[in-house]
């Protein structure tokens, strides 16, 4: 996973967390924004779940690539495979 994606995922997690927390502790006490309480909570939970799902999918893809690279390296080191350019 690239650094850009890591920073973007971290930012999305932080935004989702802040939305959930503000919907529970800040928005109920502001008269004009009481209607947005449930919307902020729902969107924050949705954002957190979406980022977690995307991170697990990219982790599985990255782990599979590492396993394939290790397998090729081990086959090369054992002499079962020759170097091809």
- pLDDT in 10s for each residue of the chain, 85 residues: 677 888 888 999 999 999 999 999 998 898 888 888 999 999 999 999 999 888 888 776 565 555 555 665 555 556 655 555 5
- 53: tokens are 């799902």
Please report whether residue 62 resides in a domain. Answer: yes
- Residue 84: inside a domain: no
In a domain, 83, yes or no: no
Kindly state the DSSP code that residue 80 receives in the 8-state scheme: S
The pLDDT value recorded for residue 76 is 59
What's the CA gap between 30 and 32, in Å, rounded? 6
Tokens describing residue 34? 């009481």
Closest by Cα among 18, 17, 22, 44 to 33: 22
Q: Report yes or no on 29 lying in a domain.
A: yes
Whether residue 23 lies inside any domain: the answer is yes
Residue 72 has a pLDDT of: 58
What is the total count of domains within the chain?
1
Q: Does some domain include residue 68?
A: yes
Is 28 within a domain? Answer: yes
Short-list 50, 41, 39, CA closest to 8: 50
Q: Which domain holds residue 33?
A: 3-78
Cα dihedral: 10, 12, 13, 16 (round 10):
160
């Amino acid at each position: 996973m690239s650094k850009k994606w890591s920073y973007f995922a971290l930012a999305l997690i932080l935004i989702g967390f802040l939305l959930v927390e503000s919907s529970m502790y800040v928005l109920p006490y502001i008269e004009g924004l009481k209607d947005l309480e449930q919307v902020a909570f729902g969107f924050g939970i949705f954002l957190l779940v979406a980022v977690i799902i995307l991170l697990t999918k990219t982790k599985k893809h990255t782990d599979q690539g590492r396993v394939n690279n290790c397998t090729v390296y081990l086959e090369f080191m054992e002499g079962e495979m020759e170097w091809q350019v």
